[in-house]
Amino acid sequence: MGNPRSDGFPRVSRPDAWKGTIDDPPINAWSRWLNSLLIGVPLVLVVYVWLLKRRGPLAAGVGGAMVAFSPSILAHASLATTDACFALFGLLGLAAFVWRMRQPTWGRFVLLGVVIGLALAAKYSGVFLFPVTGILFLTELWPATVGPRWKRVVSTCAQTGGRLALLVLLAGITLWGTDWFSFTGPLKTLSFEDTPPDSAWISWLGDGPRARWVMDTGSTPIHWAGCA
């Protein structure tokens, strides 16, 4: 099986599509460079600007330098992986929530949902943003409630649950949109015939018509979205 070279050179054959080889670094050099430029640099800038507004130029310079020279950031930003992208959008998600708390509006709430969806698109670990925002919603809503304690608890939890449900919907639509409203990204990319017998999908769904429909739907890009 061959793999495309991102630097424009011809495809290179490899016996196992899922196993790295010694030829991989030059093959994905362009992708790694773009990742550093488009993700690593903005990540440093976000930290710098945030600290500049909160604590001044000295803290911004120190914080930006700590991120720029962090061994973990240097390692992940120099690879064509999603870790640095997740760090960027996870941080933007927290920034969007802080921005919304300062002046709660529907526009800022929608922006928060979109940014969380982008964090999920980068890496499913972004799901941690939901409990974080849930806790912050609780702390925001509790002081505004009145009446007996049990009524305040019920009211606060109900409002928090409603906000989280709407936030999940917004983030889910955004996540789906990053896959061109196809299921090939968030669901799976292998058809029923290409799914190994020991796959978790087979153990969950079996190998009948339902399993075939789910796996084929998840692995077939939709044509109207330009994914064919």
Q: What is the pLDDT of residues 60-97, one digit of tens each?
A: 999 989 988 888 877 777 776 778 888 888 888 888 88
Looking at the fold, whether 161 and 137 belong to one and the same domain comes out as yes
Pair (198, 170) in one structural domain:
no
Q: How many domains does the chain have?
A: 3
CB-facing half-sphere around the CA of 152: CA atoms within 13 A: 12
How many of the other CB atoms lie within 10 Å of CB of 2? 10
Give the end of a domain, one of 81, 107, 127.
81
54 within some domain:
yes
Note whether 68 and 117 are same-domain residues: no
Here the tokens at position 99 are: 């921005």
Whether residue 153 lies inside any domain: the answer is yes
Neighbours of 202 (CB within 10 A): 15
Of 6-20, 111-125, 146-160, least confident by mean pLDDT is: 6-20
More confident call, 8 vs 68:
68
User: Is 86 inside a domain boundary?
Assistant: no
Q: Are residues 146 and 217 in the same domain?
A: no
- 159-210 residue pLDDT tens: 999 999 999 999 988 988 877 766 655 555 666 666 777 776 676 777 777 7
| Residue 87 resides in a domain | no
Boundary residue ending a domain (43, 62, 81)? 81
Q: Is residue 210 part of a domain?
A: yes
What's the confidence (pLDDT) of residue 2? Answer: 41
Q: Report yes or no on 136 lying in a domain.
A: yes
Type of residue at 155: S
Residue 101 domain-assigned?
Answer: yes
How far apart (Å, rounded) are the C-alpha atoms in residues 32 and 34? 5
Task: Give yes or no: residues 58 and 103 share one domain.
Answer: no
| Biggest distance spanned by C-alpha atoms of the chain | 72
Query: What confidence score (pLDDT) does residue 52 get?
Result: 92
Same domain, residue pair 3 and 72: yes
Q: CA 33 to CA 39: how far, in whole Å? A: 10
Same domain, residue pair 2 and 76: yes
54 and 112 part of one domain: no
Query: Residue 206 half-sphere exposure, CB side, CA atoms within 13 Å?
Result: 3
Give the domain extent around 55: 1-81
Distance from the Cα of residue 91 to its chain's centroid:
11
- Per-residue CA distances from 13 to 21, 28, 80, 108 (Å): 11, 15, 20, 48
* pLDDT top residue among 200 and 131: 131
Amino acid in position 4:
P
Among 46, 81, 116, the domain-final residue is: 81
18 and 65 together in one domain:
yes
pLDDT at 87: 85
* Same domain flag for 169 and 96: yes
Tell whether 71 is covered by a domain: yes
